[in-house]
Copies of this chain bind each other. A is one copy, B any other.
């Protein structure tokens, strides 16, 4: 890993979440010279692979293999620097002490300028909200001078919550929109790697188009907002520190 490149870290409950929810942010920052790392806590093998399970004789290992392949393809399309599969199980995801400490190791190794994870609330999918709680807890542990003393401790990276499905039910409120027009082709390519969830491709194309409308409206609307065609929304967990408003 280069010492000099800025870095970002995505913590994804299942192996496809990072594609739909922040694939544009990944590709954009990769294009800007960031090393973007992705950690998939599980493959989503039990709960997010209905299409595969409908085939006779399907096994857990087969699903994991397929999901891993899809995720690796998508990561390649987005320019992900590094993708790690923790294989912690899904529906329900369970993250014990050892897994947390392993994730802390990754956070410290990456030293992300910012982190990305799920919404706080998800009453459809408790794996998602658990991933966020774990991200917050592990960020805290990574900041502790007494955890593996001698290692470089973590600073205070922002944690952005990417867009959940059915945003309003998840009490998710974006406070920034990112213009991903220039990398939309990469996100679209990555989306198409998700062969098992083809029913979601067009849905997230619509999301990207409509978030671009929100981008335009908030950057000046008909009085001169930028002509973004695709965008992604994010909710910040922590306040920003700035030199200019």
Contacts and interface: CB of A to CB of B under 8 A. Distances in A.
Interface of A: 8, 25, 28-29, 32, 45-47, 49-50, 53-54, 58, 60, 63, 90-92, 94, 97, 100, 114, 123-127, 133, 136-137, 140-141, 143-147, 149, 153-156, 158, 160, 165-169, 171-179, 202-203, 206-207, 209-210, 213-215, 217-226, 228, 233-234, 236-245
B236 A175 contact: yes
Given A94-B97, A206-B206, A210-B203, A222 B179 contact: no
A155 B225 contact: yes
Contacts of A100: 92
A239 B45 CA distance: 27
A89 to B, nearest CB: 10
Contact of A47 (B53, B92, B140, B175): B140
Contacts of A140: 47, 91-92, 124-127
Contacts of A203: 209-210, 213
Given A146-B63, A219-B156, A29 B245 contact: yes
Copy number in the complex reads 6
A74 B245 CA distance: 21
A88 to B, nearest CB: 13
A218 B241 CA distance: 7
Contacts of A91: 140-141, 143-144, 146-147
Given A45-B146, A49-B146, A123-B238, 19 more contacts: A46-B146, A49-B145, A58-B149, A60-B146, A92-B137, A92-B141, A126-B136, A155-B223, A155-B225, A156-B225, A167-B168, A168-B168, A168-B173, A169-B238, A175-B175, A176-B240, A203-B209, A206-B209, A233-B239
A-B complex: 10 closest residue pairs judged by Cβ atoms: A46-B146, A53-B145, A47-B144, A206-B206, A155-B220, A219-B241, A91-B144, A50-B145, A176-B240, A155-B223
A158 B28 CA distance: 25
From A92, A160, A167, A241, name the one whose CB has the most chain B CB atoms within 10 angstroms: A241
Contacts of A94: 97
